[in-house]
């Protein structure tokens, strides 16, 4: 069913309130963070004003109700990604912390010097630096799979680099720079054939395509609330139950323990052994409402809308003189993230000029400096699209780019 974009936008107060220079907001930076529908904002506010109480630590009514709501979101998340149990869902502060948890708690206890971890050239810093830190601590080796000429994941190179030394494969589900979406099912199957575990950085993928962890058979999956219409400060780590059982705790403190003495402690059951301290209760409850909203729109409808948008953006960018687009030029296995440069304008100048027209894009290295090096640039402009974007937003972007160049030429004269 085609999305009614104006109806969807009416659910987001930012689009009513963020007019500048007599222009409505055209928001094209959802790859960085997505805006929040009113129902998410209300859910978080209502929790603080009406239902606030600490979770899992009180027997009074407010605490019991807060705990029920908090844990019901864990069930929602498990259903959303089709996990086997809510016990496989660990709350974190975001996808970055989730990846760090895997590197520290699984990598440090299960790997040894000389073991190999496979990454790709597409990775965000958050899926490189934790593994570099692990390398520095215990002496593992990082191996990078190259991209093809058309900026796809090179499966032949991946198969060549897999070996008995490979212990972890950690791959983005969608590049935050190029929009490239690797074949995660095939990647996982090949890794498991070598006895390696697979972690998927789903920060960009889960909000747009959803994911079925049972189908993929991945061992770990990381993603964030704020990129899928929910609050900031809430992330998810899915882990297979048998892996969580053998991993040491992430942090020490309240709620991750079963019993404490002066000379030792025992850990709580999954998933609580990885959730030390008072959590972001309001954020989690807001995230639950975001999942409800996505489900009400329909994930398949969002996917179809974004596929259509992606095809239109590619056509407009490829036909516009002066746009240098980075990444796959067809919509197949590609997300709605578009990095580009325009003529001889610096990406920061592009961002500033578009901002004058109330068009919000990203400009910079997008926390992917190694990939920028492969592209042969220091930075790019980036436009990313979500369920509240329309073809008209694409047209406004292209028109504003062309106007910006003319303005700058006249200013130089």
Which residues are catalytic, by number? 367
Q: In whole angstroms, give the CA distance from residue 99 to residue 221.
A: 9
Q: In whole angstroms, give the CA distance from residue 184 to residue 327.
A: 18
Look up tokens 């009074």; give the residue: 60
| Contact present, 201 and 126 (Cβ < 8 Å) | yes
How far, CA to CA in Å, does 155 sit from each of 123, 174, 326?
16, 15, 20
Q: In whole angstroms, give the CA distance from residue 176 to residue 180.
A: 8
| Positive/negative CA dihedral, 35, 39, 43, 46 | positive
Sequence-distant (6+) residues with CB within 8 A of 269 are 87, 258
Which DSSP string corresponds to 57-76?
S--SHHHHHHHHHHHHHHHH
């Amino acid at each position: 069913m085609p999305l009614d974009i104006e109806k969807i936008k009416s659910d987001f107060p930012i689009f009513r309130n963020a007019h500048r220079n007599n222009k409505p907001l055209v928001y094209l930076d959802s790859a960085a963070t997505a805006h929040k529908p009113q129902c998410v904002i209300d859910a978080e506010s209502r929790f603080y004003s009406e239902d606030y109480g600490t979770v899992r630590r009180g027997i009074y009514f407010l605490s019991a109700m807060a705990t029920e709501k908090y844990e019901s979101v864990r069930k929602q998340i498990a259903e959303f990604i089709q996990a086997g149990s809510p016990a496989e869902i660990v709350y974190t502060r975001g996808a970055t912390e989730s990846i760090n948890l895997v590197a520290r708690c699984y990598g440090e206890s299960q790997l040894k010097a000389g073991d190999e971890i496979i990454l790709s050239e597409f990775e965000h810093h958050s899926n490189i630096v934790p593994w570099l830190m692990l390398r520095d601590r215990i002496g593992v080796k990082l191996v990078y799979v190259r991209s093809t000429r058309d900026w796809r994941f090179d499966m032949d190179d991946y198969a060549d680099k897999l070996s008995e030394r490979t212990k972890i494969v950690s791959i983005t589900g969608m590049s935050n720079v190029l929009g490239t979406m690797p074949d995660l099912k095939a990647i996982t199957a090949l890794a498991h054939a070598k006895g390696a575990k697979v972690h998927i950085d789903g920060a960009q993928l889960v909000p747009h395509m959803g994911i079925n962890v049972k189908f993929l058979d991945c061992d770990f999956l990381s993603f964030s609330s704020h990129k899928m219409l929910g609050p900031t400060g809430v992330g998810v780590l899915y882990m297979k139950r048998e892996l969580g059982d053998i991993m040491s705790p992430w942090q020490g403190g309240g709620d991750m323990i079963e019993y404490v003495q002066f000379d030792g402690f025992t850990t709580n059951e999954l998933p609580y052994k990885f959730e030390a301290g008072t959590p972001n209760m309001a954020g989690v409850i807001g995230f639950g409402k975001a999942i409800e909203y996505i489900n009400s729109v329909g994930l398949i409808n969002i996917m179809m809308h974004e596929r259509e948008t992606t095809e239109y953006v590619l056509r407009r960018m490829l036909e516009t003189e002066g746009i240098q687009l980075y990444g796959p030029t067809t919509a197949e296995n590609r997300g709605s993230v578009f990095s580009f440069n325009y003529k001889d304008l610096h990406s920061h100048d592009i961002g500033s000029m578009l901002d004058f027209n109330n068009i919000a894009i990203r400009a910079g290295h997008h926390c992917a400096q190694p990939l920028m090096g492969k592209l042969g640039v220091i930075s790019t402009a980036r436009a990313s699209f979500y369920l509240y974007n329309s073809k008209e937003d694409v047209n406004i972007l292209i028109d504003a780019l062309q106007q910006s160049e003319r303005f700058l030429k006249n200013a130089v004269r």
